[in-house]
């Protein structure tokens, strides 16, 4: 533990085997607590634990003690990174935390967050959810000013921008940074006296504000992280807004004029936890309605509806309700496999789904089955699941997907930024059906999705379905998340 960021010559922690690679992955979750007199590190730990679904590669917490910022971060899950001894050393009055899934920069310790930056006016720590599309340009400008980097991710660019613009007024520095960066960002910043939280003017990634025990405040990526610490939801932080929390309470700054509202629609489909609320809407209820709309658009004569656990459950409930086809469990999930550091041989790679899912033959044998899932991205596992169900004795397998076909890459914080990897960008509906071995295949339409969510489709980013990007993506950005790896970071980390 220490108040610095390690260099990128740290050993690479490779997650060799991930049975969920055919799902969209969000970059991270952010959390912050301003509650002097409370164990803020422990509160942040529980908040991050609730946000674990947003990133499983690394986790970190930064706290303020006096005028110092202390940080502990490491590779792994929240429960692996922190224990009682570490949390007891993170005593302080204010804290922010982060869970990460990498979309820009490798999965190495130096890219873990929060990122701590020293400034002439004191240390700051930054945690970011999203993806900055003008990272290379901003980084070059900062390096030309003599600023040295210790990581290869876009979040450090935000942190260094704020640090370089900090001339004694951190609020002004953050507002100027917001005017410089382009892309998706929900960010929390820790100073010795404040938490600053802000969102991009399109509001692509979620961020909310809550009260804590009457005098404290919390910021979080999702509302699901509020209940574990008994925080009370106040409101969502608005697109383009900066919120400053200190001993005087909450100060709001309308920093950037809100542009086209463009909340990532995959937050509703899959990314956010079903017990969260966005736009004042219950995500679980919205996902149930997606299943109802899915049946309306793609009815089928079948005997049982089964979800692909766990994210297919709400839509399967809705499909069953609308169709009056009984809902039952057909696949049992091994919830303890996660990602493993054990390198499988090729045969085990091919059996990845079998390690994760086991069919309930008594619910499938001799049945015409509707299999409901939330998405098909790369097309690498859906066919294996269909095969499992057929081998268990199903006479027919009809696949229903509660999202439209993913045809375009995401540059705003979801790890699917290479179009050649997207099966719907390469194949027709019939070709995909044949590829996965289903008797029929139906996707929810963009119109049906908007109806299910209950919010106009104009308020979402649907770029992965339509190619209509709300924020202009530079042509030279059509690249992988490792594009900054060619830039050598500073060998010596700066100490705070």
Q: What is the pTM of this model?
A: 0.88
List, for residues 212-241, the tens digit of each pLDDT value. 999 999 999 999 999 999 999 999 999 999
- Annotated catalytic residue: which of 28, 110, 208, 461? 28
Domains observed in the chain: 28-262+482-486 (3.60.20.10), 281-455 (3.40.50.2020)
List, for residues 388-412, the tens digit of each pLDDT value. 999 999 999 999 999 999 999 988 8
Residue 420: the pLDDT is 86
User: Active site includes 110?
Assistant: no
Question: How much is the average pLDDT of 94-109?
Answer: 72
Range in 41-50, 64-73, 252-261 the model is least confident about: 252-261
Q: Report residue 10's pLDDT band, with 50, 70 and 90 as the boundaries.
A: very low
Question: How much is the average pLDDT of 179-184?
Answer: 94
SS (H, E, C) the chain: CCCECCCCCCCCCCCCECCCCCCCCECEEEEEEECCCCCHHHHHHHHHHHCHHHCCCEEEEEEEECCEEEEEEEECCHHHHCCHHHHHHCCCCEEEEEEECCCCCCCCHHHCCCEEECCCCCCEEEEEEEEECCHHHHHHHHHHCCCCCCCCCHHHHHHHHHHHHCCCCHHHHHHHHHHHCCEEEEEEEECCCCEEEEECCCCCCCCEEEEECCCEEEEECCHHHCHHHCCEEEEECCCCEEEEEECCEEEEEECCCCCCCCEECHHHHHHCCCCCEECCEEHHHHHHHHHHHHHHHCCCCCCEEEECCCCCHHHHHHHHHHHCCCECCCEEECCCCCCECCCCCHHHHHCHHHHHEEECHHHHCCCEEEEEECCCCCCCCHHHHHHHHHHCCCCEEEEEECCCCCCCCCCCCECCCCHHHCHHHHCCHHHHHHHHCCCEEEECCHHHHHHHHCCCHHHEECHHHHCCCCCCCCHHHCCCCCHHHHCCCCCCCCEC
Residue 413: the pLDDT is 79
pLDDT over 70 at 479, yes or no:
no
List, for residues 162-180, the tens digit of each pLDDT value. 999 999 999 999 999 999 9
List, for residues 292-316, the tens digit of each pLDDT value. 999 999 999 999 999 999 899 999 9
Question: How much is the average pLDDT of 334-345?
Answer: 57
pLDDT over 90 at 343, yes or no:
no
């Amino acid at each position: 533990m220490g108040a610095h960021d390690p260099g990128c010559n740290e050993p690479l922690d490779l997650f060799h085997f991930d049975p969920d690679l055919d799902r969209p992955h969000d970059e991270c979750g952010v959390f912050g607590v301003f509650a002097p007199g409370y164990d803020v590190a422990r509160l942040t730990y529980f908040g991050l634990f609730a946000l674990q679904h947003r990133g499983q590669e690394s986790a970190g917490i930064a706290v303020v003690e006096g005028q110092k910022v202390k940080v502990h971060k490491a590779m792994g899950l929240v429960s692996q990174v922190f224990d009682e001894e570490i949390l007891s050393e993170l005593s302080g009055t204010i804290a922010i935390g982060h869970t990460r899934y990498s979309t820009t920069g490798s999965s190495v310790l130096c890219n873990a967050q929060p990122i701590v930056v020293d400034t002439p006016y004191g240390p700051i720590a930054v945690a970011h959810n999203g993806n900055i599309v003008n990272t290379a340009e901003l980084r070059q400008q900062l390096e030309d000013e003599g600023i040295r980097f210790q990581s290869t991710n876009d979040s450090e660019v935000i942190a260094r921008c704020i640090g370089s613009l900090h001339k004694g007024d951190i609020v002004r520095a953050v507002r100027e940074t917001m005017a410089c960066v382009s892309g998706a960002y929900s960010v929390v910043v820790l100073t010795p006296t404040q938490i600053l939280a802000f969102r991009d003017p399109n509001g692509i990634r979620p961020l909310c504000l809550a009260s804590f025990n009457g005098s404290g405040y919390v910021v979080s990526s999702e509302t699901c992280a509020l209940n574990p610490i008994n925080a009370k939801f106040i409101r969502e932080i608005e697109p383009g807004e900066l919120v400053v929390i200190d001993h005087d309470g909450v100060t709001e700054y309308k920093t950037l004029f809100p542009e086209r509202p463009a909340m990532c629609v995959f937050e509703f489909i899959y990314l956010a936890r079903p017990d969260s609320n966005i736009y004042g809407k219950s995500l679980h209820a919205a996902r149930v309605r997606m299943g109802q709309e899915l049946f309306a658009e793609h009815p089928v004569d079948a005997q049982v509806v089964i979800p692909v656990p766990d994210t297919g459950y709400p839509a399967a409930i809705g499909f069953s309700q609308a169709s009056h086809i009984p809902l039952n469990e057909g696949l049992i999930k091994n919830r303890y496999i996660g990602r493993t550091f054990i390198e499988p041989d090729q045969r085990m790679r091919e059996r990845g789904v079998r390690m994760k899912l086991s069919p309930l033959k008594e619910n499938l044998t001799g049945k015409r089955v509707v299999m409901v899932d939330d998405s098909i991205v790369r097309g690498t596992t859906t066919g294996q699941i269909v095969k499992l169900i057929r081998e268990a004795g199903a006479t027919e397998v009809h696949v229903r997907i509660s999202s439209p076909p993913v045809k375009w890459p995401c540059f705003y914080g979801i790890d699917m930024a290479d179009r050649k990897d997207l099966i719907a960008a390469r194949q027709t509906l019939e070709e995909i059906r044949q590829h996965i071995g289903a008797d029929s295949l139906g996707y929810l339409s963009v119109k049906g999705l908007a109806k299910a969510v209950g919010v106009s489709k104009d308020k979402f980013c649907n770029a992965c379905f339509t190619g209509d990007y709300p924020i202009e993506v530079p042509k030279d950005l059509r690249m992988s998340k490792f594009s900054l790896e060619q830039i050598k970071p500073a060998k010596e980390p700066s100490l705070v």
